[in-house]
Structure 1
Amino acid sequence: MEHERETSVQRKWLEQYPLGVPADIELGEYGSIADFLTRTAAAYPARTALCYADVELDYAAMAELSEAFATYLQVIERLPSGSRVALMMPNVPQYSLALFGVLRAGMVVVNLNPHYTEREVRFHLEDSGATILVAWEGAQAVARAAASELHCRLILATPDEIAKLPSLRSAARRVDEDAQLARAEAQTSFVAALEAGRHRSRPQPPLAPDAIAFLQYTGGTTGNPKAAVLTHRNVIANVLQLSTWLRPVLDGADVCVVTVLPMYHIMALTGNCVLSVARGWKNVLIPDPRDLSTFVEQWRKHRFSFFVGVNTLFNALMDFEPFGKLDFAGLAYTCGAGAAVQPAVGEKWHKLTGCALSGGYGLTEASPTVCMTPVGVTGREQTVGVPVSSTEVRLLDDEGHDVKSGVPGEIVVKGPQVMRGYWNRPQETQSSFTSDGFLRTGDIAVMDAQGYVTIVDRKKDLVLVSGFNVYPNEIEKVVASHPGVSECACIGVQDAKTGEALKVFVVARDSRLTADALQAWCRENLTNYKVPRQFEFREALPKSTVGKILRRALR
């Protein structure tokens, strides 16, 4: 339905919506995220769902293979509904198949970065209580060590098995596919799990919209990440919000999505992985965003229509000569995510491709989208757009009062896409919401008279490295664990390549300690984008009267 043009003070932005975009979305049509795949596979079984290099899977195959994995989890592993299954893979077909298999089985997806160190994997597995880890072969040493210590079942996905996936659904069942043999192995391959689950029946657990779908980790103020509890309803809502928003420019059977941001990250998880299934789009998977040659090759082959990227990627592509020679006629929508796209980059992109680079705002706790630029609008590049359907946004001062148009305030948000809370962290959950149920984002913005939102500051300590959230407490905890460190403090500094980079100020316990030694220590304990690029040694660090290190004095 079309939205009403009469707006309240709280939703003045509705006047900016394109015709056909509703003020509110209807959630009752879908009971679970799995319904997206079930319905699309039934309606368009032969339509291409996933592309990886030269391998393609249609929606019928995607539905059948994810069903086989669901059966494996329920029948072979005998896991009950609500069990947590960790996925630790780049953008490969096995990720999407495993994700929908977990959700169809009534279980919970725990997304992990395949570049995590053993320490990081161990923390996430232990914190989430995951009993199975599906990991990419390239991360098997780290995955095996962490999973073994926590008695977590390891399933390896490999590059070699990708070519087998299209033919697996029609292959006859092998005689040696035995459940007991599968369970007896110390680890199994993803294809072996599919084979063990094929041609078996499984109980059909009730899939309630309020059940947990994802434990999606984000930065924590206590030095460790915390998991946002996202329900099926949360993600369904955000998918429908995005779907209605983009329908004016992305509709029909020939829409082709390129997924270059990692699907374990909330933006590509909702906006690429699940949205493309809900709409029946073709999703081309790029596992390594740094491989620009492969990106250009796939663009020539598929003529992408929808592209979500980050500032550093847009810059890198435009500096890559072969990219400028592509045909951009089919590109209908480009969106910048993760961090603000620099105006000069947006202008250059528009000039090169003929497609405006739209902005948006979101966070993991909101599944993630809160605001987007209306389709077709230009001249608003400095903003992140307006709140999407069924979303209320307010800006509050330090006393919790609404601010006037043009006055900075903290963004608070309410909508069906907002998380239930943080996993096993009741105090942090309570402090994250206002008394009337609005999520506190900690981000400072202004809203103009038309409802357009402009970010003027970020969470005080958050550092955005190539679009990834990094919290200083986690970095400080690792650096401080080095025996040669007495005290340390981490901040973000401007960086031409990554937007921001991490700088650590160190008071050394050992005068022989070097920056190289600390960086090597960090590489052993942190994934690459979290490794500080700069270290500065000092005799002392600034502190408050109660002894708290003052990061603001170091900026």
Structure 2
Amino acid sequence: MEKIWLEKSYPSDVPFEIDADKYPSIVAMFTKYSSQFSDKTAFINMGVSISYAELSLQATAFAAYLQQDLGLQRGDKFAIMVPNCLQYPIALFGALLAGLTVVNVNPLYTARELEHQLKDSDAKAMLIIENFAQTLEKVVDNTAVKHVIMTSLGDRLGLVKGTVVNCMVKYVKKMVPAFKLPHAVRFNTALSLGLGLKLSPVDLCGDDLAFLQYTGGTTGLSKGAMLTHRNMVANLQQAKAAIFPLLEEGNELVVTALPLYHIFALTANCLTFFTMGGTNLLITNPRDMPNFVKELSKYPFTAITGVNTLFNGLLNTPGFSELNFSTLKMSLGGGMAVQRPVAERWQKVTG
């Protein structure tokens, strides 16, 4: 039978099918690609980079801390409530290496929203950026969370730069409201402790739950979508097959301005480009468009993902149209359709 829905729709260089069972888990993919691209840059944030090898080392240390120090077991839920910063991929892959299920949390949640998600997911532990610790303080006693790991924005930026950033955020911009979580452990302390512990490998399979990814809650209470490792591996294989003809392994840099706690950037940026040995340029605050454009001017980015408002915002920011777009190969819009006038202007400006 002629499969016209395939043969007349797919580009000639995109396969009709993928092997969803090529890897038993995201952890297997992480292990493969962190070794294959060990010397490549995996993530950049605020001018500081981390290689695939360094990420593997730090994620493994974090996993060992979660498993051996906190005593978290395979299948336990681990919440991550941080913006786009280097702590995110370290915690993400660390939790998965420990066999945990990741629960991504929007840092802008109200106390009511946060309490619902933590209770609904039955999260046992979480990583939170201190800017929003006051919100957690209000509800943590009503949840199953027993272990809180605290981080500051500059914690992985090196001693000097990290100290400057943290002081600016806390004391100059006053972006850290007072809070009291006396038993919280600092993220860098957790990593240091983890380096002295040995991770017991967890034999994950495709049916193990990788994420409880919560919906936006626009039609009622936010609901956790259950995403297994096989779900994610299949999606990543599909995404890679679709864009691979456009891109080159080990030589791509994707602009990651959309929050990694949303499924779009998590999949299309963080995980997909990881399987290609690409670099994620993490933008912590894309609402600050002038600084966003300034950051873009420093790197020969080859791909960018966004939504209509982000594309439109960049187009209307002074200096954006003067950037060098000669290396840009792919722009990917998600969330909803990019409006035709915005798409046409974007194509005209970026080429």
TM-score normalised by length of structure 2: 0.90
Q: Does 1:282 align with 2:275?
A: no
CA contact (8 A) 2:119 2:144 kept: no
How far does residue 7 in structure 1 lie from its aligned partner after superposition?
Answer: 3.6
Structure 2 equivalent of residue 531 of structure 1: none
Q: Does 1:54 align with 2:51?
A: no
**One of 97, 105, 108 as aligned partner of 1:104:** 97
Helix, strand or coil: the match of 1:213? strand
Structure 1 equivalent of residue 169 of structure 2: none
CA contact (8 A) 2:290 2:318 kept: no
CA contact (8 A) 2:81 2:127 kept: yes
What is the alpha-carbon distance in structure 2 between the residues aligned to residue 221 and residue 115 of structure 1?
15
Structure 1 equivalent of residue 9 of structure 2: 16
Q: Does 1:316 align with 2:309?
A: no
How far does residue 220 in structure 1 lie from its aligned partner after superposition?
Answer: 5.5
**One of 332, 335, 343 as aligned partner of 1:335:** 332
Task: Map Cα deviations across residues 69-97 of structure 1 (whole Å, 9 max, x no partner).
Answer: 11111100111100000011111111111
Q: Does 1:267 align with 2:264?
A: yes
Question: Any residues of structure 2 matched to 1:292-307 within 5 Å, and which?
Answer: 292-307=289-304
Q: Does 1:140 align with 2:133?
A: yes
Helix, strand or coil: the match of 1:196? helix
Q: Does 1:86 align with 2:83?
A: no
Question: Any residues of structure 2 matched to 1:22-37 within 5 Å, and which?
Answer: 22-37=15-30
With over 3 angstroms needed to count, the CA separation of the structure-2 counterparts of 1:295 and 1:273, relative to structure 1, is same
**One of 131, 147, 156 as aligned partner of 2:150:** 156
How far does residue 221 in structure 1 lie from its aligned partner after superposition?
Answer: 8.3
**One of 203, 206, 223 as aligned partner of 2:220:** 223
Task: Map Cα deviations across residues 122-161 of structure 1 (whole Å, 9 max, x no partner).
Answer: 1100000001121112111112322233251211121231
Counterpart of 1:88, as a letter, is M
Question: Any residues of structure 2 matched to 1:517-528 within 5 Å, and which?
Answer: none
Question: Any residues of structure 2 matched to 1:97-496 within 5 Å, and which?
Answer: 97-150=90-143, 152=145, 153-164=147-158, 186-219=183-216, 223-354=220-351
How far does residue 114 in structure 1 lie from its aligned partner after superposition?
Answer: 0.3
What is the alpha-carbon distance in structure 2 between the residues aligned to residue 134 and residue 339 of structure 1?
30
Q: Aligned residue pairs: how many?
A: 330
What is the alpha-carbon distance in structure 1 between the residues aligned to residue 40 and residue 204 of structure 2?
26
Name the structure with the higher helix share: 2
Structure 1 equivalent of residue 179 of structure 2: none
CA contact (8 A) 2:122 2:143 kept: no
With over 3 angstroms needed to count, the CA separation of the structure-2 counterparts of 1:302 and 1:221, relative to structure 1, is closer
Helix, strand or coil: the match of 2:62? helix
CA contact (8 A) 1:7 1:15 kept: no
TM-score normalised by length of structure 1: 0.57
Counterpart of 1:156, as a letter, is M
Counterpart of 2:240, as a letter, is S
Helix, strand or coil: the match of 1:345? helix
Q: Which has the larger radius of gyration?
A: 1
CA contact (8 A) 2:212 2:225 kept: yes
What is the alpha-carbon distance in structure 1 between the residues aligned to residue 268 and residue 2 of structure 2?
28
Helix, strand or coil: the match of 2:280? strand
Helix, strand or coil: the match of 1:21? coil
What is the alpha-carbon distance in structure 1 between the residues aligned to residue 133 and residue 217 of structure 2?
26
RMSD: 1.9
What is the alpha-carbon distance in structure 1 between the residues aligned to residue 21 and residue 223 of structure 2?
30
Structure 2 equivalent of residue 70 of structure 1: 63
CA contact (8 A) 1:133 1:147 kept: no
Helix, strand or coil: the match of 1:42? helix
What is the alpha-carbon distance in structure 1 between the residues aligned to residue 249 and residue 262 of structure 2?
27
Counterpart of 1:30, as a letter, is Y
What is the alpha-carbon distance in structure 2 between the residues aligned to residue 61 and residue 13 of structure 1?
41
Counterpart of 1:20, as a letter, is D
What is the alpha-carbon distance in structure 1 between the residues aligned to residue 43 and residue 217 of structure 2?
34
Helix, strand or coil: the match of 2:149? strand
What is the alpha-carbon distance in structure 1 between the residues aligned to residue 203 and residue 249 of structure 2?
32
How far does residue 276 in structure 1 lie from its aligned partner after superposition?
Answer: 1.6
Name the structure with the higher strand share: 1
Counterpart of 1:277, as a letter, is F
How far does residue 15 in structure 1 lie from its aligned partner after superposition?
Answer: 2.2
Task: Map Cα deviations across residues 424-472 of structure 1 (whole Å, 9 max, x no partner).
Answer: xxxxxxxxxxxxxxxxxxxxxxxxxxxxxxxxxxxxxxxxxxxxxxxxx
Question: Any residues of structure 2 matched to 1:515-554 within 5 Å, and which?
Answer: none
> Identity over aligned residues, as a percent?
39
What is the alpha-carbon distance in structure 2 between the residues aligned to residue 334 and residue 143 of structure 1?
36
How far does residue 222 in structure 1 lie from its aligned partner after superposition?
Answer: 7.2
Structure 2 equivalent of residue 3 of structure 1: none
With over 3 angstroms needed to count, the CA separation of the structure-2 counterparts of 1:115 and 1:28, relative to structure 1, is same
CA contact (8 A) 2:60 2:199 kept: no
Task: Map Cα deviations across residues 233-278 of structure 1 (whole Å, 9 max, x no partner).
Answer: 1111111111010011111322001100001001001111111211
How far does residue 321 in structure 1 lie from its aligned partner after superposition?
Answer: 1.9
Counterpart of 2:204, as a letter, is L
Q: Which has the higher contact order (CA 8 A, sep 6+)?
A: 2
Structure 2 spans left out of the alignment, 5+ residues: 160-181
Helix, strand or coil: the match of 1:272? helix
How far does residue 202 in structure 1 lie from its aligned partner after superposition?
Answer: 2.3
Counterpart of 1:307, as a letter, is I
How far does residue 219 in structure 1 lie from its aligned partner after superposition?
Answer: 4.6
What is the alpha-carbon distance in structure 2 between the residues aligned to residue 232 and residue 298 of structure 1?
34
CA contact (8 A) 1:209 1:231 kept: yes
How far does residue 24 in structure 1 lie from its aligned partner after superposition?
Answer: 0.6
Counterpart of 2:214, as a letter, is Y
CA contact (8 A) 1:36 1:277 kept: no
What is the alpha-carbon distance in structure 1 between the residues aligned to residue 324 and residue 281 of structure 2?
17
How far does residue 28 in structure 1 lie from its aligned partner after superposition?
Answer: 2.6
How far does residue 189 in structure 1 lie from its aligned partner after superposition?
Answer: 1.1
Helix, strand or coil: the match of 1:258? strand
Structure 2 equivalent of residue 380 of structure 1: none
Counterpart of 1:135, as a letter, is I
